[in-house]
Amino acid sequence: MLERVDLLQIYYFMRLTRAMEDRTRTLFLQGKVVGGVYTAQGHEATTVGAAMSLRDGDCIVPQHRDLGMQLVRGTSPRAVMCQWLARGNSPTLGRDGQLHIGDMHHGIVPMISMLGESLPVACGVALAMKMRKRSTIVLASCGDGATNTGPFHEAMNFASVQKLPLVLVIENNGYAYSTPSHKQFNIQNLSERARAYGIPGETVDGNDVLAVIETVGKAVEHARSGKGPAIVECKTFRVRGHSEADKADYVPQDVREEWLKKDPINLFEAYLTREGILTTAKKAEIEANIKAVTDDAVRFAEQSPAPDPETVADYVFAPDGPIAIVGEPGAEDTRYVNALDRRTGQPFTTIRKTEEAIGRR
């Protein structure tokens, strides 16, 4: 069982995530945000809970609704606000106003805007961990719609065959933009797709943060022990539209009202109160702390400089000139395939013969 301090920390990050997004919406309405705003109100138990299941050294490959994961794993509120306001000191140096940010020092791989495309990247990171014999894992996320894309299936098949230390969290909020689940797939639970790859899959209530931590935690330990990847489907609800430009009027009112009764923050707050963990004084303290952190992040971002126009072409192209390749002392020039032979200890002639045999068929 988690200690009380851990439970309050979970509550803090859930509340901070929502507060940051609420403030971002206000800044958007004030015309201060560059580009669109994509929030995850209703996802807090899923994103925070999944990230709370990890250890130091693990990596995440998040999507655009994973602010909770970002904050838990070390992204600062100041960096988030500078990113939304496209400031020159933002993680992307003002070149992208969305939450397409990463920080490899904290094990956060930047997302790819085409949802689903990040999953092969997650496989690459997991493969590197396996080859280096590390006891770390990769946790990637995607929405329900992304599970219908080619990269999802290619990534999960590759991860299964290679037994990669990868956990995929599917944030199933019932809509791929405006397309409801029953028009996307003909199965009850998306976790059932794990069976096609011979890996574990489980569905959990994505609005119950403790259930998310427990279920994702089991999948994480499965992957960490060398048994290969696993899929966890978290069923939740996106309270707001796909973006602030989307009124989400395609969601039936009765469906919305039913999900609003299961607000993840309210549910967890009620649990903490019943258990005597969250007192009135402690709640006031946390709220004051969150307000101070959020106010500081906004103030810092608004006072930060805009990108320097003189640097507009920086980081777009590789530097001019030849690329120097430095070998080990005493190394000799050789063909690429021979270098691979020596590195892996497995001759590539077998592969070439196989290719020739296929070519003759």
Rg (the chain; Cα; Å): 23
| Of 314 and 148, the one with more pLDDT | 148
Distance CA 68, CA 53 (A): 13
CA distance 230 to 130: 15
Residue 159 has pLDDT above 90, yes or no: yes
CA distances from 5 to 1, 125, 272 (A): 12, 32, 11
pLDDT at 355: 40
pLDDT digits over 66-92, tens only? 999 999 999 999 999 999 999 999 998
Q: What is the pLDDT of residue 100?
A: 87
Rounded to whole angstroms, the Cα distance separating 349 from 194 reads 35
DSSP output for 87-127: -TTSTTTTS--SS---BGGGTBPPP-SSTTTHHHHHHHHHH
Domains delineated in the chain: 4-311 (3.40.50.970)
For 223-244, the pLDDT digits (tens) are: 999 999 999 999 999 999 999 9
3-state helix, strand, coil in the chain (%, to 5): 50, 10, 40
Q: What is the DSSP string of 143-161?
A: ETGGGGSHHHHHHHHHHHH
Query: What pLDDT, on a 0 to 100 scale, did the predictor assign at position 201?
Result: 98
